[in-house]
Amino acid sequence: MKNNFSEQGNLLLKHIDTADAICVGAAAGMSVAAGYDCAYHNDKYFEKYLGEFGRKYGFEGSFNGYYYRYQTSEERWAFLAASIYMNMNLPDGMVYQNLFELLEGKNYFIVTTNQDTLFSRRFPENKVSTIQGDFRYLQCVRPCHDELFESKELIEEMYANIRDCRIPTELIPHCTECGRELEPWVRGFTFLEGKKYREEYEKWNRFLLENKGKKILFLELGVGRMTPMFIREPFWNMTYSWSQAFYIAINPKDALLPKELKEKGITIKEDIADVLEYAVRRKRELEGKVGAES
Ligand SMILES: [Zn+2]
């Protein structure tokens, strides 16, 4: 099989295969590669779960809905519940499955700024750090204390009771300590950087410490230019200072390679889903799982 990125795809596979450790950093582009555009456009998922809100408020994508100034908490929580419910029920799709197959049996770790819970669906909890929060949890809005609340049951109940873009008042979730409302545990003005947040960073740091001197691959997937400080810059810095590190960024638009890393990295400016699919197919061929090319 030949296409315009077969050379880069093969290089990706070679680096994955020969690395002692693989640190994946993934951001919004990964969701786009999975086929989800619902954060910024009214795609079929938006229509299914949030269509009524889109028509009522004129939202273009779910992102709009988070920043809208609702008149009442009943209306705001109806939107939040529908949006979080949508996230929790998106199928994780081929791109995640392919990444899983590429990493299976390897010494790897994933750090993500995505809050959509898709990585946690397929990958074990001890191999994923969500460093910008995660819709599976709610926190006190203040926050008055350091506990998170699991959101699943609360969200499902709210979602099931939405009528005319509102939930019943008694379903608005409140803090068990101070009685204020809860908030989704995602990056925002009140984001709780407490125990769980520190644990997410500790998991990642432990992996880095254990593998610092080894041949480590930093694989960046779908990181944009807006917030480079969370994944991209740490990846660049570690690749630069660790002698055996290598950096690969896959992103159709935003992949960048600083000139200092010219010898220690590549960018693949292609669709992440296509590249991973190619790599998996090639891997299977090499392992003789399907009709191998001669
Ligand atoms: Zn509280």
Measure 53 CA to ligand 1 centroid, in angstroms. 29
Measure 180 CA to ligand 1 centroid, in angstroms. 6
Does the pLDDT of residue 104 top 70, yes or no? Answer: yes
Measure 166 CA to ligand 1 centroid, in angstroms. 23
Measure 21 CA to ligand 1 centroid, in angstroms. 41
Q: Which residue has the higher pLDDT, 86 or 289?
A: 86
Q: Which residues surround ligand 1, an ion (CB under 5 A)?
A: 140, 144, 175, 177-178, 180
Measure 185 CA to ligand 1 centroid, in angstroms. 13
Q: Give the model confidence (pLDDT) of 127-175 as tens digits.
A: 999 999 999 999 999 999 999 999 999 999 999 999 999 999 999 999 9
Domain residue ranges of the chain, discontinuous segments joined by +: 6-36+92-132+195-286, 44-89+136-186
Question: Residue 291's pLDDT is what?
Answer: 53
Measure 81 CA to ligand 1 centroid, in angstroms. 20
- What order of strands is seen across the sheet that includes strand 21-26? 128-130, 108-112, 21-26, 216-221, 246-250, 265-268
Distance CA 276, CA 195 (A): 34
Token pair of 43 as six digits: 């795609």
The pTM for the full model equals: 0.93
Name the pLDDT band for 39 (thresholds 50, 70, 90): confident
Measure 79 CA to ligand 1 centroid, in angstroms. 22
Mean confidence (pLDDT) of the chain: 94
Token pair of 226 as six digits: 């807006």
Measure 183 CA to ligand 1 centroid, in angstroms. 10
Q: Give the model confidence (pLDDT) of 169-218 as tens digits.
A: 999 999 999 999 999 999 998 999 999 999 999 999 999 999 999 999 99
Measure 229 CA to ligand 1 centroid, in angstroms. 30
Measure 137 CA to ligand 1 centroid, in angstroms. 14
Which residues share a beta bridge with 111? 25, 129
Distance CA 173, CA 190 (A): 16
Measure 140 CA to ligand 1 centroid, in angstroms. 4
Strands 216-221 and 246-250, how do they pair? parallel
Residues 190, 183 contacting (CB under 8 angstroms): yes
Measure 200 CA to ligand 1 centroid, in angstroms. 22
Residues 185, 133 contacting (CB under 8 angstroms): yes
CATH code, 6-36+92-132+195-286: 3.40.50.1220
What ranges make up the beta strands (E) of the chain? 21-26, 108-112, 128-130, 133-140, 149-150, 182-186, 216-221, 246-250, 265-268
What is the 8-class DSSP label of residue 62?
Answer: H
Question: Residue 292's pLDDT is what?
Answer: 47
Measure 176 CA to ligand 1 centroid, in angstroms. 7
Measure 17 CA to ligand 1 centroid, in angstroms. 48
Question: Residue 290's pLDDT is what?
Answer: 64
